[in-house]
Amino acid sequence: MQLLEAIVRLGSFTRAAEEMFLTQPTVSMQIKKLSDTVGMPLFLTAGRQVVPTDAGREVHAAVRTILRTLSDLETKLADLKGLKSGRLRLAVITTAKYFAPEILGAFCEKFPGIEVSLKITNRDRIIERMAAHEDDLYIFGEPKSAGMDVEATYLAPNPLVIVARNDHPLTQERRIPLERLAEENFLLRETGSGIRDSLVRRFQEKGLRPRVRMELGSNEAIKHAIVAGLGISALSLHSLNLDWGGGRLAMLDVEGFPVDRAWYLVHPKGRELSTLARTFLAFAIEQEPEIRATLNTTYQTLRADNQAILLPEEDGHPDPHPIHR
């Protein structure tokens, strides 16, 4: 059932096999068995994509209901056992990986009997997972534009900054206009990345486009490429917490940056949270001051290095449109 769901979502046997850590022949064989049971083919090939047949679509709809029912059952059974056991499934965008393991670690110390799973991926993929009810809670930004009704609770700031190698001539300039930045070679995250969208939007608002030198699939790869002198990029300040390229990364003082973004804890509206997930949510939001303090230290360190700008000295969170606190 999980395989069928993945093939429909990804439009490919190969990608579904990769996601589920299976070989392609295993996937084909499982689907063949299922088609034989149903007595009709479940998929058609359309160009390079596979699409479900009418029968495939019906099976897919039933499978989604069954998977959701099973997951709800798991939640209910875990609730009956209280917080002594049970599973918490968390999926977070890439930049939350610089903090989510710490929150989870502290939570597991408090509730040692529980099991946790943490999935780290980009914004588009998180939203797909949420639509398929794959996890209990999600951490990402801009929940209002997730394309579905959600409950969102503010978690912490997630500012976006422009980063260059520390010997880049722009590190000497102040209040750099975006027009000037448009002349630089940019390293951009992959399609589906929230950071990429956010950066491109900033440029579009001024009728500009970043000059893309290279696309890279992770924040870590971007940092390496900046140090290698391949270009400049936009990064979440969190990604610079522990590692800022051996001191070779510098924040640029660009007009309109840092962009005030925020992380939210999100789940689909109407989906009841398990006691465990609710307890985690309350626990996580208590960590805000600590997350903010770590972020400020990173900011001060990078600022001292190239005398760039200050994070807004505000007490509350930077999102002017809180959804729910």
Select 193 or 298, whichever has its Cβ closest to ligand PGA: 193
Interactions with ligand PGA, residue window 218-247 (CB under 6 A): 236
C-alpha to C-alpha distances, 271 to 1, 135, 166, 245, 277, nearest whole angstrom: 21, 11, 47, 42, 12
Interface with ligand PGA (CB under 6 A), residue total 12
DSSP states along 248-297: TEEE--BTT-SB--EEEEEEETTPPPPHHHHHHHHHHHTTHHHHHHHHHH
CB of 18 to ligand PGA, least distance (A): 19
CA atoms within 13 A on the CB side of 87: 11
CB of 94 to ligand PGA, least distance (A): 3
Letters for 183-212 (x = contact with ligand PGA by CB under 6 A, - = none) are ------x---xxx-----------------
Select 7 or 156, whichever has its Cβ closest to ligand PGA: 156
Letters for 275-294 (x = contact with ligand PGA by CB under 6 A, - = none) are --------------------
C-alpha to C-alpha distances, 1 to 9, 30, 34, 108, 149, nearest whole angstrom: 12, 10, 9, 31, 26
CB of 23 to ligand PGA, least distance (A): 28
Which of 56, 141, 210, 231: binder of ligand PGA (CB under 6 A)? Answer: 141
Which of 71, 122, 166, 274: binder of ligand PGA (CB under 6 A)? Answer: 122
With beta carbons less than 8 A apart as the criterion, state whether 95 and 237 touch. no
With beta carbons less than 8 A apart as the criterion, state whether 181 and 209 touch. no
Select 197 or 255, whichever has its Cβ closest to ligand PGA: 197
Interactions with ligand PGA, residue window 65-104 (CB under 6 A): 93-95
CB atoms within 10 A of CB 126: 26
Select 141 or 143, whichever has its Cβ closest to ligand PGA: 141
CB atoms within 10 A of CB 120: 18
Select 122 or 306, whichever has its Cβ closest to ligand PGA: 122
With beta carbons less than 8 A apart as the criterion, state whether 87 and 117 touch. yes
**Binding flag, residue 166, ligand PGA (CB under 6 A):** no
CB atoms within 10 A of CB 102: 13
**Binding site residues, ligand PGA, CB under 6 A:** 93-95, 122-123, 141, 158, 189, 193-195, 236
